[in-house]
Structure 1
Amino acid sequence: MKNLYSLKSILLIVFYLLGLNTGFGQSKAEQIEKLMTFSHETGQFNGSLVVAEHGKVIYKKGFGLANMEWDIPNQANTKFRLGSITKQFTAVLVMQLVEQGKIKLDAPIVTYLPGYPPQAGEKVTIHHLLSQSSGIKDYTNLPGFRNGGSQNALSPEALIKLFADQPLEFEPGEKFAYSNSNYVLLGKIIERVTGSSYAQYVQDNIFTPLKMQNSGYDNSSIIVKSQARGYEQNGDGYVNASYVNMNNTYAAGALYSTVEDLFLWDQALYSPQLLSAKSLNLLFANQMAINKNSYYGYGWYVGEVSNLTKNRLRIAQHSGNLPGFVTRICRMPSDKNLIVLLNNTTNAPLREISDAISAILYDKPFTMPRISLAKTIFEIMAKQGLAMGVEKIKQLKNSEAYIIQEVDMNEGAYQLLQAGKMQEALEMLKLNAETFPSSGNVYDSLGEAYLKTGNKELAIINYKKAVELDSKNDNAKKMLNELTR
């Protein structure tokens, strides 16, 4: 297991937290270097990035290791799994076919997949799929997929069978609900309409024309040269990430690329090289409201912020998340600014890092990303025991230098459970529930932890709370049925 922290990183924390990060007297590239050095030294970034201003690259660099076994460094041409950033490529392919008259945005699924169950297939349109407003359940959250199914290679048809007969969660177009199933269906529709595989079609119609020579469709059985390996943080070190069969992410998440290639992608979206101006406008339009200030376009989150410029600044962005990989792309089209962050360790705070880089680009003060409390607590509990861990929670949980992240706390608790440290895990999960009282997943995890400690009564209470907060939590429902029958 690779060691994560060092005396150098501790000194960096003290130095940066004492200073005011105004960037006075430093170029933007120097400020980004300062930010990224801190982020890497404190275990919060291990990957590659590119930053462009007014259409020109001002910063490009790799940090940490692409392969920790062989000490191979991350570089600008290192290939990373993109996860859900894949969706914007799928959306462009669909819009190309719309321009060719082969697909209609208002046509229902059954027009292209006639065997799809009519209760959803006749209601859900291509527009609903693109804008994440279909009401179709996300197959990645279904028990059959979560409980080991993700490791077995599934064809697109098999993936679709996982969710096709599930009832719609709401009427299509009623609201936004992110679902990977939408883009799996779009991938299959692309194949049906073109007669080509999704992998070949994205290669022929995006990667080759744009000379994105280090991008492609990932496949677990194929060796991809210069590809980063994924890792998960485990206390004060790293372990190999859980295996995921990339076939099962398909048109929703199976592409890989580099920061250099994604700069080419960004630039192409300012020209008619891939799509007409009309189609590009649809891609980045406010297609479906998420909340007051945020919308989903076609494969992009879009919205406006008011803290960077005098007038509201429009931003298009998306993130990706796979075992061992976290990714983020952020565009400011009015100024042709771009931030791409590709990271080959889990739970990196890329939004915070991206926000800091955005502030630098617009000459605003920025703050360093806060340090994950979960990692600190995990290390103390694993090495010094329960009492010391609880004491440290009391000391640090309100510190501005630390951040409590739901996913980090959950994963740290599960690692403690696996190590047989039941009470330590429960303390982390209790803090998580205290911090995120409206998260059904937190109580689902608490229920599991109590069950492992033999406390059936508290397990039932927490599973009930999980379902109360999230009626779509199928795992909690299943456990309640088993525990109360």
Structure 2
Amino acid sequence: MKIKYLTLLLVVIFPLFNQLCFGQLNPKEKTAIDDFGKQLATDLIKDNLHGSISVAVVKGSSVIWSGAFGYARMKENVAADTNTIYRIGSITKTFTAALLMQLVQEGRVKLDDPIEKYLPEIKNLIGYDSTIKITFRQLASHTSGLSREPNMKGADAGPLNEWEQKTLTSINKTSFIDIPGARFSYSNIGFAILGVALSRVASVPYIQMVQDRIFNPLHMADSFFALPENKLSHLAEGISNDEHSVNTSKPLQELKGRGYKVPNGGIYSTPNDLARFAIAFTSNSKLLNSESLKQMQIIPPGGERYGLGLGVYNYEGIDLIGHDGSVPGYTSTMFIEKTSGYAVILMRNYNSGSTDLTGAAQQLLKALSK
């Protein structure tokens, strides 16, 4: 028992003492966040993986609290901190949808334009015919009718600089599970196709667009699709523990690339950087006008709790928008409470654990907003 208590002290007090910011918190916020932090630290001990969870809490246009719990390396006592980098998984889809809305604002594309207008290769989808017209809106809202993944071995492997070609090759191996617009059906390959189509609209590579249009304007200096050499030491080691086993080999392998999975799950970031992105949805946005932000939150015909790259929820009386993500070795969540302007970002360097990241973020937002 003494050993367990000492471990708790080391995890909770030592790393957090130098990392957390409490200066701007009112008493209600401090109580809610303090209880939240204690629960995260307790859950980390229960999980017994020597992993980490990093957090940022936003109110309006400011990060009011951020910190890190636990360790960045499974077999080393390297404390995670507010500069620790994680993979954000499918939260990348929100970035892709934001690019779409920027191009809509500029009049370069319409949400209901058929994809084939810019990407004729989409006609190679299995089952595609002249009566089927998949639109930008349908790809961004998971109502395109496409399967979740292509039926192609190795589609999710390969170097970053070949992701677009891997996507085009995957189109030939992708089929429909329903007609476009009929219902919500989550599709990773759909968002990859969307990313390629956006690059065709703009005549600019997708990754460069994210850098120029989102990372740079929001000063997201610790966000990347490929980690520079000088940032590798800041990456939390990914621990894959989904299948009743624990390993770090798969997450390490994916550092070299994830095949076609770039516009749907390719970004590395930190909670503080992702907070800057969340702020663009809570206050005067540097990215999108108010009509575009509203449009992203409209559930289209056939849709289900999902607008354009954004989940749309009512959780116990509060209205939330956001996204979560999971790739081998990493899980993340970003949720925003629309009325109060609070947002919570959580990142973890393992997959399965005592903390339900999405549920924890929603509960904290309720405590802060009530």
User: Which TM-score bucket, shorter chain as reference?
Assistant: 0.7 to 0.9
Contact 2:148–2:185, Cα closer than 8 Å, also in 1: no
Matched, 1:251 2:292: no
How far apart are the structure 2 equivalents of 1:24 and 1:277?
Answer: 30
Is 2:278 the partner of 1:266? yes
Question: What is the DSSP-based 3-state SS (H/G/I as helix, E as strand, rest coil) of the residue aligned with 2:326?
Answer: strand
Structure 1's 325 and 220: CA in aligned 2 closer, same or farther, altered over 3 A? farther
> Cα 1:151–1:181, aligned 2, differ >3 Å: closer, same or farther?
closer
User: Whole-Å Cα distance in 2 between the matches of residues 277 and 347 of structure 1?
Assistant: 37
User: What is the alpha-carbon distance in structure 1 between the residues aligned to residue 230 and residue 122 of structure 2?
Assistant: 31
**Aligned partners of 2:368 and 2:28: how far apart in 1?**
13
What SS does the corresponding residue of 2:319 show, helix, strand or coil?
strand
**Max radius of gyration: which structure?**
1
Instruction: Please give the secondary structure, in 1, of the residue aligned with 2:323.
Output: strand
8 Å CA contact 1:9–1:41 kept in 2: the answer is no
Q: Is the Cα contact below 8 Å between 1:321 and 1:327 reproduced in 2?
A: yes
1:83 matched to 2:89: yes
Residues 366-393 of structure 1 show CA distances to partners (whole Å, capped at 9, x for unaligned) of xxxxxxxxxxxxxxxxxxxxxxxxxxxx
Identity across the alignment (%)? 26
Picking from 213, 220, 237, the partner of 1:212 is: 220
User: Is 1:353–2:366 an aligned residue pair?
Assistant: no
**Equivalent residue for 1:116?**
122
Q: Aligned-pair distance for 1:324?
A: 0.2
| CA distance, structure 2, for counterparts of residue 104 and residue 240 of structure 1 | 43
CA gap 1:355/1:39 in 2 versus in 1, 3 angstroms: farther
Distance 1:222 1:100, change over 3 A: farther
- Matched AA of 1:351: T
Structure 2 equivalent of residue 285 of structure 1: 298
Q: How has the CA–CA distance of structure 1 residues 41 and 53 changed in structure 2, closer, same or farther, with 3 Å as cutoff?
A: farther
CA distance in 1, matches of 2:149, 2:230: 25
Task: Note the C-alpha offset of 1:225.
Answer: 4.8
Structure 2 equivalent of residue 402 of structure 1: none
Structure 1 residues 241, 272: closer, same or farther in 2, change over 3 A?
A: same
Residues 1:74 and 1:222: Cα distance change in structure 2 (over 3 Å): closer
Aligned positions of 1:172-187 closer than 5 A: 172-187=180-195
Structure 2 counterpart of 1:250, which letter? V
* Change beyond 3 A, Cα 1:187–1:70: same
- The answer for the alignment partner of 1:203 in structure 2 is 211
TM-score w.r.t. the length of structure 2 is 0.81
- Structure 1 residues 289 and 124, CA gap change in structure 2 (3 angstroms): closer
Contact 1:120 1:168 (C-alpha < 8 Å) held by counterparts:
no
| Distance in 1 separating the partners of 2:239 and 2:35 | 28
Matched with 2:167 is: 159
Q: 2:307 aligns with which of 297, 304, 327?
A: 297
> What is residue 142 of structure 2 aligned with on the other side?
132
The CA deviation at 1:67 is 2.3
Aligned partners of 1:220 and 1:247 also within 8 Å:
no
CA 220–58 in structure 1, closer or farther in 2 if over 3 Å, else same: closer
Query: Shift of the alpha carbon at 1:230?
Result: 0.5
Alpha-carbon separation, structure 2, partners of 1:165 and 1:240: 30
Deviation at 1:236, TM superposition (A): 9.9
Scaled by the length of structure 1, the TM-score of the pair is 0.63
- Counterparts in 2 of 1:310-459, with a 5 A limit? 312-348=317-353, 349-362=356-369
Q: 2: distance between equivalents of 1:175 and 1:235?
A: 30
**Residue 191 of structure 1 corresponds to which residue in structure 2?**
199
Match of 1:47 among 33, 44, 53: 53
- 1:35 aligned partner: 39
Which structure 1 segments of 5+ residues have no match?
A: 1-5, 13-22, 364-485
Which digits, 9 at most, give the CA deviation of each residue in 1:116-165, with x for residues without a partner? Answer: 2172685101111111100112226x3x33xx553334532322322345
Aligned CA distance change for structure 1 residues 346 and 127 (closer, same or farther; 3 Å): same
Contact 2:58–2:279 (Cα < 8 Å) also in 1:
no
Residue identity matched to 2:167: L
Q: Distance in 2 between matches of 1:265 and 1:219?
A: 19
Once residues 33 and 230 of structure 2 are traced to their aligned partners in structure 1, the CA distance between those partners, rounded to angstroms, is: 37
Aligned ranges for residues 206-245 of structure 1 at < 5 Å? 206-218=214-226, 224-233=232-241, 238-242=246-250, 243-244=253-254, 245=257
5+ residue gaps, structure 2, are 10-26
Q: Structure 1 149/31 Cα, relative in aligned 2: closer, same or farther at 3 Å?
A: same
Equivalent-residue separation in structure 2 for 1:78 and 1:120 (angstroms): 47
Cα RMSD (Å)? 3.1
Matches of 1:279 and 1:216, distance apart in 2: 25
Q: Answer yes or no: is the 8 Å Cα contact 1:117–1:165 preserved in 2.
A: no
Task: Give 2:177's match in structure 1, choosing from 137, 148, 169.
Answer: 169
Of 52-61 and 250-259, the range deviating more from structure 2: 52-61
- Indicate the SS of the match to 1:212: coil
Asked if structure 2 preserves the Cα contact closer than 8 Å seen for 1:139 and 1:159, the reply is no
Task: Return the alpha-carbon distance in structure 2 between the equivalents of residues 177 and 219 of structure 1.
Answer: 32
Alignment check: 8 A CA contact 2:166 2:260 kept: no
Whole-Å separation in 2 of the counterparts to 1:42 and 1:356: 20
Of structures 1 and 2, the one scoring higher in RCO (CA 8 A, sep 6+) is 2
Q: 1:236 to 1:184 in 2, by over 3 A?
A: closer
2 CA distance for matches of 1:290 and 1:108?
A: 18
